[in-house]
Amino acid sequence: MSENNELEEYKALIAVYREDIEFFTKQVFGYDLSPKQKEFCEAFRTSRRISFKGGTGFGKTFVMAACFWWALICHDEVQVSILGPSEPNLKSGAWKEILKFFDKMHPTFKEAFDISATRISQKGMSASCFGEYRLVSKDNVSSIRGIHMRNNFVFVDESTGVDDEVFVEGLGGVFADPNPKLCIISNPSRASGYFWRSWCDPDLSSIWTHVHGTFWDSPNYDPKTFEETAKSYGGPTSRDYRVMIEGEFPLSDEDGLIPKDLIDAAIRNKEAVAPENSPIIWGLDPAGQGKDSSALCIRQDNVVKPFLSWQGLNPTQLSYLVRDLYQKTPKNERPAVISVDANGLGYGVYSNLKDFGLPVHQCMFAASPTRNPERYTRIRDQLYWELREWLATENVHIPNDSKLIEELATPRYEDVPKIKIEKKDQIKKRIGRSPDFSDALALTFAPSTVRYSGKHNWSQPLKYDWLETYG
């Protein structure tokens, strides 16, 4: 047979492999894929964005290695990157599995590759056809932006442990290439962060192809092993069982301030009715002209209405907008007080609203607490803790808003020696934006002289500042 015929046959075989990862894996490595692994492979072959969550035992590392080699063998001008937050885990997990596949590879393909500690490349094409693994974090986002190739395939392993900045600021550039793929993979161990949003945020999740694996999808599943493993994770009611067996996100982060089940209960509780004649409070969290939003929360006792938000407004524009909104609101629906985060540029908004004669209250998140100073460091800690207690009454309703849900579920806290809520800039780094909605809701608890409302009456007056000038 001539060299030309052999080359044409080889090209034809590669074309077949490119359309069928299951067939490729069987012929080149002698491995069979389970039904869930086939589903993963097909999603990876046909989609640009793939989010794969799952528990233990179904072989996510195995199938990722199969897709790695499929990408490298079946494409020219290709870069395959395996990214993760922990180098030891990358080396002992994904990269080790990739090397095991190499050991099983058919000799026809095996001799075509050079192998090094962190890189695999086709001989003679080391700059245009290669795969590698690398550590990623918010500290090396700029280097991630430099990942480019005509066929640019990126896997992010242990995605729940990867900083949100990597996804938001770094990996978006992948999609500037002609044929990109971004595959994020993880045990769903956190109820916040980018990986969680790729499944639970209605806007973000709509652009991802989802694959969900459970312990029952294991190619080696047997009832006895399952029973033993289930017991080791604490049984069906435990957090670990939910994550590692069912492959589902936990109801809340372990160190989270507000349990996710309280948030979900407040969303579902559409029968909640505010007590008659209870005051309406507006919480206003002003933002600058960047990407963050100015947010307005409208709360009447135990009921929160849908949030309003605006982007790109300076303090004067926001002040006039809020004044106009106040004036257009029927008198019986106007707020008894508008609580404003008056820190920084927010002070200008507060001052303007006060000059307009609106019932305004100045809240400084960094100020000393107004209640129980022995428990809190700052008023922000106090207000968020009171927000948590308000939700815990289970007689409240909040909107089903993905931004609000994530912002409530994200903050962490410490309780030694005083309650201290995670700083706003740390939350912003993890979710990619400022927690505008949750801050606006927390602000509604600032004017009251009682701890919080819900199951409490309003026999004591609210505190607001406009009386100083207009009373």
Is the pLDDT reported for residue 458 higher than 50?
Answer: no
Question: Which domain does 458 fall in, by range?
Answer: 260-470
The Cα–Cα gap between 281 and 263 comes to 20
| pLDDT tens digits, one per residue of 290-344 | 778 999 999 999 999 999 999 999 999 999 999 999 999 999 999 999 999 999 9
Q: Any idea what the CATH number is for the domain that residue 462 is in?
A: 3.30.420.240
In a domain, 166, yes or no: yes
- The token duo for 151 is 């066929």
SS3 391: helix
For residue 370, the 8-state DSSP code is S
Residue 34, in any domain of the structure: yes
Q: Which residues of 159-170 are buried (b: 16+ CB within 10 A; e: fewer)?
A: bbbbbbbbbbbb
Please report whether residue 250 resides in a domain. Answer: no
pLDDT tens-digit series, residues 177-232: 999 999 999 999 888 889 999 998 888 999 999 999 999 998 888 888 888 888 88
Number of domains within the chain: 2
Q: Where a domain ends, among 215, 245, 275?
A: 245
Do residues 152 and 298 both lie within one domain? Answer: no
pLDDT at residue 145 in the model: 85
| DSSP annotation of 169 | I
Collapsed DSSP state (helix, strand, coil) of residue 271: coil
When pLDDT is cut at 50, 70 and 90, the band that residue 449 belongs to is low
DSSP 174: G
| Selected residue with higher pLDDT from 41 and 236 | 41
Average pLDDT of the chain? 89
Q: Which residues contact 99 (CB under 8 A, 6 or more apart)?
A: 115
Q: With contact defined as beta carbons under 8 Å apart, do 166 and 33 qualify?
A: no
Picking from 216, 245, 274, the residue at the C-terminal end of a domain is 245
257-268: pLDDT as tens digits: 888 788 888 999
Last residue of a domain, one of 221, 245, 269: 245
Residues 6+ apart with CB under 8 A from 225: none
Query: The pTM is what?
Result: 0.62
